[in-house]
Chains A and B, each alone.
Chain A
């Protein structure tokens, strides 16, 4: 079945350093979504990308969807302690959004030291 892997599993950075997490799917995705889960909380939606090669920015966060629509990345510039949490990618398999289930990646846990 479909698998979505993320690397690294853990990342510890000093506040102000950059951070990147990579997401790789075994199958082509119709979209990619990113979620953030704070310790003790539930996943909260950040963004969705749909087009091949699409890049979106949210302040210090940059999201990219690969050309083959099988991988994605999230880059955080100049991390802050408020960025602490686990970042998950998620995607629907198939050609059209909504035709298949939403599968989550394995997650990358980010720790930021002040």
Chain B
């Protein structure tokens, strides 16, 4: 596609429910990153992939968070048994090649856990 697409744009869920956030990167981009951004703060690294391989998941807060990119394109970030503290903007970014010049960000998914 023309840019990085994330869906849904907004998600309100009840505490304890599972949610799946989707990222469709720029076509052909090798690297895909997931970040979480609280209001007024910088993007906090969660995990990233090169092709379908998860390179680093050290930023995932706990084992309720997981991510996959099975075919090296679309990625899904899943949060199980959501808690109120999970409420944030979740951002996806893709790069043409690992460490390529720039990361292209999607519009983000605003998750609210009530």
Residues of A bordering B, CB below 8 Å:
1, 4, 6, 30-31, 33, 35, 42-45, 48, 88, 90, 92, 96-107, 109
Contact = CB atoms under 8 A, between A and B. Distances in A.
Contact of A43 (B43, B55, B98): B43
Given A42-B108, A43-B105, A104-B43, A98 B98 contact: yes
6 contacts: A42-B108, A45-B104, A101-B59, A102-B48, A104-B42, A106-B41
A45 B100 contact: no
Contacts of B35: 104
B102 A101 contact: no
Contacts of B104: 45
Given A43-B105, A104-B35, A98 B100 contact: yes
A88 B37 CA distance: 12
A4 B44 CA distance: 11
Contact of A102 (B33, B41, B91, B97): B33
B25 interface: no
Given A42-B108, A104-B45, A105-B42, A92 B99 contact: yes
Interface residues of B, number: 28
A41 to B, nearest CB: 8
Interface string B75-102: 0000000000000000101010111111
A96 B97 CA distance: 13
Contact of A101 (B56, B106, B108): B56
A102 B45 contact: yes
A21 B107 CA distance: 25
Contact of A45 (B44, B91, B97, B101): B101
B20 interface: no
B35 to A, nearest CB: 7
Contact of B107 (A42, A48, A92, A98): A42
Output the residue of B43, B58, B59, B91 with the most chain A CB within 10 A.
B43
